[in-house]
Structure 1
């Protein structure tokens, strides 16, 4: 196996110079650093990350915990995190907890044992106390979507405003009279903010009784499809789904049952995943800058790693209403 001494001999320099060049430290000219890196690559040298972390206490690895990587929204955010970190020379260790709290906590311990430098928590169900394991191991944490603790930075979409804008559109432009909300986990911050935005918009418009039922379901396609049997018992003229994946499940049910969207039932979603604009009746939804959200989280984490005395921040991205055909409006997205 090629080691630093072999490279030093080939380059005609001492091993300390090679070590500084490979680890990006000062004291080596850019010309010499480039030459050393080129020769190291030519010789097939690769670092042993675990061994290096034991010496430098820096693994070059970032943990990313997601509730369900099959969900297009989470996948897009995860891509934003990993691509940014890759550009900065970090590897991303992905933990898909499949919305299982026990598995979530197991991954927290695993990330600590792997000596990750920082962790991005995307829409996890953890509580403030659960984050102590990271604090005890000197690991910085960034929360995305769900601001678990005031002691760590959070990067979020303004779910309240997005739901408000969508609800106002449904009432003012689409003349919705009877609305059923298909929401996710009632304890999830995303669900709380989207439902609160809907309710407060209705209250402001003086039509609070328009929301006739809130159903909390597992926020995926199959659950959206299955929930429609119960939804139709309330005879709504519109379904507001907590995300596009649920909305697409509801839409598929309508297509299979011969229910015309939007003439007989309007459907609105949230997140603006790619599939929402590809169905036969494109989905009115709320656009979230998913990839950018991931990049912002990664950027903030890297900043805090480089500035360990920095104070927690709250970074908020504004959403944008996407008007398509599923709620009766013929105007396409702008």
Structure 2
């Protein structure tokens, strides 16, 4: 008889081995509070000796809880997401749950495959940076009972909570800082992946000029990457040759913009000032260090996990959208 054909140890087998109730063993398996450390140690040793493994999927079907959540991002190469994922993982683990990570590449079809997989494994809920034009898809999964927290969008539907930063104010802060420093020919590098309903940075960019009674500069949309920032500068300077400042969609685009500006023989910030968005760790270490709009990852991780845990505990409730504050961080590039 092979090891794989041996009968699987059960929770009752563990209880008999340690001379405790099945309920006590279950509390240890589920990492519940109120179990003495000596008891926990004894149970875990018996679990290891017997090779007991809980059937998590069967337990999820019975309890409607799996002890797992999903975090679904659009682009794993964006340095903002891995840092946020680490913060979310830390917050989720404090509740005794495990986090599954997935990437959609900002593709609605891939997002559908990811959400279907997470739903089939009965995760307790998911935190999603939604792919473009996927709102109806998210509503559909919410109707199936999947608890969803959407980041950086607003979806008015039962079973969906929304957490986002005040990106309009963030863009206003960046432009106001540039205008206050004497810049007047300010252009913007925007993301070509943002659908019209999510172009809040662009709205804030225009609003800042309206506030000042000035005409806004050119807006160029490009991939939200270093290479996109480099390519976007060429187009922006073609449209606005006397450009003296740039607001970028994110920090990696801003870094690409700095490279492209300097490759053209212009200086940052003397000739062209650059402001990014996100405040990723790298932004403080590039030269010149990047002035940026901070989107606090720690604060976001707290709010999205709080919303998710509230959903898990009270699945029928509706939650008002949460809008998080932003902050201008002034460094060398502007």
Query: TM-score normalized by structure 1?
Result: 0.88
Contact 1:128–1:149, Cα closer than 8 Å, also in 2? no
Counterpart position of 2:129: 122
Cα deviations by residue, 1:48-83 (Å, 9 ceiling, x for unpaired): 322332333322111111110111112222222221
Distance 2:187 2:95 in 1: 45
Query: 1:148: Cα distance to partner?
Result: 2.7
Contact 1:145–1:189, Cα closer than 8 Å, also in 2? no
Matched, 1:50 2:57: yes
Contact 1:109–1:133, Cα closer than 8 Å, also in 2? no
Distance 1:75 1:149 in 2: 28
Q: How many residue pairs get matched?
A: 322
Contact 2:14–2:43, Cα closer than 8 Å, also in 1? no
Counterpart position of 2:4: none
Q: Aligned pair in 2 of structure 1 residues 183, 29: CA closer, same or farther (>3 Å)?
A: closer
Matched, 1:39 2:14: no
Counterpart position of 1:225: 230
Query: 1:111: Cα distance to partner?
Result: 1.6
Q: 1:149 aligns with which of 137, 156, 174?
A: 156
Query: 1:189: Cα distance to partner?
Result: 5.1
Counterpart position of 1:167: 175
Q: Aligned pair in 2 of structure 1 residues 119, 29: CA closer, same or farther (>3 Å)?
A: closer
Counterpart position of 2:217: 212
SS of alignment partner, residue 175 of structure 1: coil
Query: TM-score normalized by structure 2?
Result: 0.88
Contact 1:79–1:291, Cα closer than 8 Å, also in 2? no
Distance 1:324 1:84 in 2: 30
Q: Aligned pair in 2 of structure 1 residues 31, 81: CA closer, same or farther (>3 Å)?
A: closer
Give the alignment's Cα RMSD to 1 decimal.
Answer: 2.3
Cα deviations by residue, 1:291-329 (Å, 9 ceiling, x for unpaired): 3202310121012211223222222221111111112xx
Cα deviations by residue, 1:171-214 (Å, 9 ceiling, x for unpaired): 01x21111111101341655x2111112111111111x1x2211
